[in-house]
Structure 1
Amino acid sequence: MNRTNVTGYCMDVIHAVIEALPYDVPYEFFAFAKPESYDDLVNQVFLENYDAAVGDITIRANRSLYVDFTLPYIESGISMVVPIKEDTNSKNTWVFLKPLTWDLWAASGCFFIFIGFVVWVLEHRINKDFRGSPNQQISTSFWFGLSTMVFTHREQVVSCLARFVVIVWCFVVLIMTQSYAAILATFLTVQQLQPTVTDVNLLIKNGDSVGYPTGSSLYGTLKQLGFHDENFKTYNSAEELDELFQNGNHGISAAFDEAPYMRLFVATFCSKNTMIESTFKADGFASEGVDMRHVDNKWFRKKASCSNPHTAGSSNSVTLGLDSFWGLFLIAGVASLLALLIFAAMFLDEHRYTLRCIDPEISFWRRICVILRVYDQKRPQFKDL
């Protein structure tokens, strides 16, 4: 007896479903001649010419009026595939700014200044390097904070509280500089690949040619989007689609098809093309819920060459944001504030008798000025904190 032997992703799914059933189900496959549309195949089930249909049948509202679908086993929808090219903007004059986002740059700059101020407060009364004219003290504070970026601060830190703050901050800076250097090296050495186009409207505006599978119902959908007949080119296989992408001005700028087919195409030609997020969503291809990992790995796993960062297309370069380091900034901020509170408590306790002698009739701001004048005086005899 001649039996039809059919292979493919959908066949592997139905075999996995049948094997997962707790009872035997006798079945026989019959090849259905290539229909003009999948609606013809669904209609054959409705007419009871077949008990069921197995294949890449998308769940749609009009089809659900006549037949019942199983649970979807793969996400569907219309996706767009476009070629990838090297990002020429990834290597320019300001590439050194790209590893960090603007909010992380701003937060880092503020913390460098803040740490310099904290160390100045803790060292001003006992360290001659942090005394002098107002301009000299301001410049020393800025210089000390910024120099911790490259660990070149020449001012000696003598108090234990200031040493504690500097140690914590240098730990934060060390992690940040190492992370920054790693990301910058990636920008400078790894080939950055970007999709040639990401917007369907841009294709329509430029009058670019696009491809879709021969006989696909996508023709009507693309016409509704605004494409014209002269913009369409059809293909019958993944190899033909790859040739269309390679034909330059006589080829296509993008291709449209169901997301599973695009995933399979990109898995084969990953070094040349990338898939854009689904343009239109559908409910998916239908089947029972089974463990699909081994089936997906068999058909959709990318080739080994795709794991090579020099050939794999990547639409988003890795950058470091404030959310990556807010914990470290929190530690540095808490350590600094804690040191300031301890210093303030010790200072007020040391000069409690002097502060009690202040005239209670003077205003609050006059009292603050008196305290600051006392603070500005050099400590006559420094005892290590």
Structure 2
Amino acid sequence: MNDRNRNTDTNEIDSRRKPLWYSGRYFDYPLLGIVLGLVLFGLVMVYSTSSYRADELYGDSTYFAKRQLVFELVALFGMFLVSKIDYRRYARYSKYFLYVAMALLVLVYIIGSASHGSTRWIYIGAFGFQPSEFAKLALIVYTADICTRKPRSLNTLKGLAKMLLLPFVTIILIAIENLSTAIICFGIVVIIVFVASPKKWPFVLMGLIGILMCVIFIATAGYRADRIRIWLAPEKYDDGYQTMQSLYAIGSGGFFGRGIGNSIQKMGFIPESHNDMIFSVICEELGLFGAALVIAMFVVLIYRCALIAINSGERFGGLIATGVMAHVAVQVLINISVVTNTIPPTGVPLPFISYGGSSICFMLLEMGLVLAVARQMKPGR
């Protein structure tokens, strides 16, 4: 009787006795609303930033916007599908998710296609995706699961090393060609462990390991060291052209901007302005006011994820929401910092807004996971 009450109070229902599809007690409409708002705003900005280039390359100013719309519709369907499945079912498959991610990352170096000097894509016919995006999702589920199943291992150095062996191998595989994404993945793992562990020394130790790994990967790749020099003085290098144009766009936007569609820098001055540098065009067209609103939307999204993590009532679900929150926060921070030349230049899309199928699909699948966690919350908690 007591065990039954305890399980009911903590909302820990055996997922094996529940059907695959379930209707939880609660649905986080504020989170859904902010996600849909960001997605729709992203579609508008993709059209605004890509129309000139699309017309020049394909004779159709809506080419990239239409492709992004297809990506978003597929991703939204996947998000709602995932939100209806009991997220606790994924715990038993978390290791296999990570194995698949590692296999795909290795496969990239065998049959992958290069883009902008780095090999990050796998193409199957006309369909292409970045395995590193799937790796982020796999790392969130695996790290949340391992911290839930083996909480005592977080208290010892040996136990922590065993727990994080597979995540660190995955991050190293990513870092070989994509250090910026590896930093995001490392941040996800560190923040989950920080929330799960009662002690602070694992967090400090992982931070030191992360800094050491960054130094090693920068020292072993000359182009990464060049990016630091460009960051310090972009006006002195030809490769600093994109950074300078981004800063021109931000500065010319003023407080209220030039208006949607009136950007000058998107007309070939900022290369592929609909991708990683889209925030600079947002600043140019919507000004400081519009940029602040975009940042505020991300802050609300992160806040909702934090509330769900705190009130989930179940450790695994809370850590999943924490991992997704960390992913969004770290990636937004890096993207905006690059655009404003606060950190060395690197290629990281702005979540939900930048053009790209892999990014939007896996990001919305993560939002589906958070919505699934929210379904287990009790109203009024």
State the TM bucket, normalised to the shorter chain.
Answer: under 0.3
Q: Under a length normalisation based on structure 1, what TM-score does the superposition of the two structures give?
A: 0.19
Q: Under a length normalisation based on structure 2, what TM-score does the superposition of the two structures give?
A: 0.19
In proportion to residue count, which structure has more strand?
A: 1
Highest CA radius of gyration, 1 or 2? Answer: 1
